[in-house]
Amino acid sequence: MIKPDGVQRGYMGEIISRFEKKGMVCKGLKTFMTPREVAEEHYKDLSSKPFFGDLCDYICSGPVVCMVWEGPGVVKSARLMIGATNPLESAPGTIRGDLAVEVGRNVIHGSDSVESAEREIALWFGGDDELLDYEMCIKPWVREE
Ligand code: UDP
Ligand code: MG
């Protein structure tokens, strides 16, 4: 998910392009103004942290772009492309490493496990009618089989 700072700074195209170029397939994408209760549910594992309130304010502060990307090992691969939580520790070449300097303005969220991804897709998307089942015509040029 592209966070509100990523949208406001004009990085939607840049971020989407990185996943496209990698060879991942976009199965869902939408802009969304996050209700407070969705932000709190999304980050419920962090509800005891001192930054939880500011984090939910940040996520609700403007439109986000919710995305579902498919590909081999996509959760781990996307996390590597996104980089470490603190952008000052994210490697150059990663999204956060290239585009951000603060942990509280780190431009993008990525699911940390397949289980989290399933939970987050169910939370942010309104069901299977918002997700697409299709193949890219370039698939044989990206995937060996
Ligand atoms: N965050 C923060 N301060 C911290 C740690 C995290 O503001 O000290 C925010 C940051 O935006 C981060 C989000 O909380 O992306 C979720 O934290 P998590 O540890 O799950 O990091 P992520 O999975 O996003 O790398
Ligand atoms: Mg996380």
Q: Ligand 2 centroid vs 76 CA: distance in angstroms? A: 12
CA distances from 11 to 23, 74, 96 (A): 19, 21, 11
Ligand nearest to the backbone CA of 90: 1
**Which tokens belong to 78?**
């996307």
- Taking only the tens place, the pLDDT of each residue in 2-46 is 999 999 999 999 999 999 999 999 999 999 999 999 999 999 999
> Is the minimum distance from the CB of 113 to ligand 1 under 6 angstroms?
no
- Nearest atom, ligand 1, residue 82 CA: 25
> Is the minimum distance from the CB of 85 to ligand 1 under 6 angstroms?
yes
- Letter for the amino acid at 47? S
Ligand nearest to the backbone CA of 103: 1
pTM: 0.98
Domains, the chain, in order of start with CATH, read: 4-139 (3.30.70.141)
- Taking only the tens place, the pLDDT of each residue in 65-86 is 999 999 999 999 999 999 999 9
Tell me the binding residues. Answer: 3, 51, 79, 85, 96, 106
Q: What is the pLDDT of residue 127?
A: 85
Q: Is the pLDDT of residue 145 over 90?
A: no
Catalytic residue among 24, 109, 120, 121: 109
Residue closest via CA to ligand 1's atom 2 equals: 104
In the chain, which ranges are continuous DSSP H helix?
4-8, 12-22, 36-42, 52-59, 74-82, 95-99, 114-124, 139-142
Q: Is the pLDDT of residue 128 over 90?
A: no
Give the whole-angstrom CA distance, residue 67 versus residue 55: 20
- Does the active-site annotation cover 109? yes
- ipTM for the predicted complex comes to 0.99
Give the whole-angstrom CA distance, residue 134 versus residue 145: 16
- Mean pLDDT computed over every residue of the chain: 98
Q: Ligand 2 centroid vs 110 CA: distance in angstroms? A: 7
